Amino acid sequence: MKLSTSEKTFMFVGFCLRPYRCLDLILVFVFWFASQFFGFVGATFGLNAAEANFSSREKFCSFSHSVRSQSETVSLLKEAIEKYLGRSCDMVAEPLSNPFSSEARKRFEEIGSSNVFLFWLDEKTAEGDFLLRAIYQAPFLQWGMNKQKLPQGFYSETQLRRSDILLAMVAKLFSQLPFQGFVDANGFVSWRQAKKWTTSFEGVEPHGHLPILLEWKPIGWKSAEVSIDDSTKKLKIKYPDREKIRFPLWLSGKD
């Protein structure tokens, strides 16, 4: 039987004129779709049985400061934070007098909506006061604060010495955070090395009025094996029984 032009067209767009050939076409399509789908998932998340590999997260934090802060201190502190985290921070160019104002929060959303941490510096040069706030952007709550006097003669020190002093202040700030790394769908960041890692799914109870994180409440979750592949520099998380990974995950461990 000779097929008309319209009949040939219907065959190509999915209408099968011969039922016994339809099954072949359907199976071919199903296998093709499955290969494409699982290929995409594997490329995106590196899934292999119950394992998932996460590449290093490109962006992680935002940095801001008040109008009273010295430009050189701002630059050195930003470098100290980036050195500690091993990641660059998005800079909010215009000074912000209050990081908790609606205007400031809108600015942070525009610059780094996917960032996890926000750091804000307020420096009173005449009094030698130094205030560094650390804020977790979602929810918008403060988890740490370093408020102290700068060492006497700080501004007359060499740039290298001032960098070391600010790096120590950043380390002191992070000592208030009970975690050593962070994992989400965008990748991972770890700021301390550990021989043995554990993970916890994080849940918090925000305070109604104060921008302060009053209590960390980890939600119970099955233990996972976590390690960093030295060759690929990827974080490897192994869950039992193909558990679905819940975000965000905080890394903790012992040196």
74 and 149 assigned to the same domain: yes
Left if phi > 0, otherwise alpha if psi is -120 to 50, otherwise beta: which for 41? Answer: alpha
CATH number at 71 reads 3.40.50
Domain boundary among 174, 200, 224: 174
Note whether 12 and 78 are same-domain residues: no
- 76 in a structural domain: yes
Residues 41 and 65 in one domain: no
Higher pLDDT, residue 166 or 214: 166
Q: Give per-residue pLDDT as tens, 24-43.
A: 544 444 444 444 433 333 33
- Report the mean per-residue pLDDT for the chain: 76
Residue 40 within any structural domain of the chain: yes
Token digits for 154? 């700080």
- Cα R_g (the chain), whole angstroms: 26
Q: How confident is the model at residue 123 (pLDDT cuts 50, 70, 90)?
A: very high
38 and 69 both lie in a single domain: no
Q: How far apart are the first and last CA of the chain?
A: 77
Contact 132, 80 (CB under 8 A): no
**Residue-number span of the structural domain to which 37 is assigned:** 8-45
Residue 178: closest CA among 198, 155, 206: 198
SS3 content of the chain, % helix, strand, coil (to 5): 35, 30, 40
Q: Does a structural domain hold residue 189?
A: no
> How many domains in the chain?
2
Q: Are residues 87 and 139 in the same domain?
A: yes
The pLDDT assigned to 112 comes to 79
pLDDT tens digits, one per residue of 87-104: 999 999 889 999 989 888
Give the Cα separation of 224 and 241 in Å (integer): 11
Q: Residue 128 and residue 160: Cα distance in Å, rounded? A: 19
* Range in 74-88, 94-108, 127-141, 200-214 with the lowest mean pLDDT: 200-214
- Indicate whether 217 belongs to any domain: no
Within this chain, do residues 84 and 140 fall inside the same structural domain, yes or no?
A: yes
Is residue 101 situated within a structural domain?
yes
Q: Coil, helix or strand for 156?
A: helix
pLDDT in tens, 193-219: 776 777 777 665 555 555 555 565 555
**Same domain flag for 69 and 144:** yes
Domain check: are 113 and 24 in the same one?
no
Biggest CA–CA distance in the chain, Å, is 98
Query: Is 121 contained in some domain?
Result: yes
Distance CA 52, CA 185 (A): 11
Residues 234, 53: Cα–Cα separation, whole Å: 6
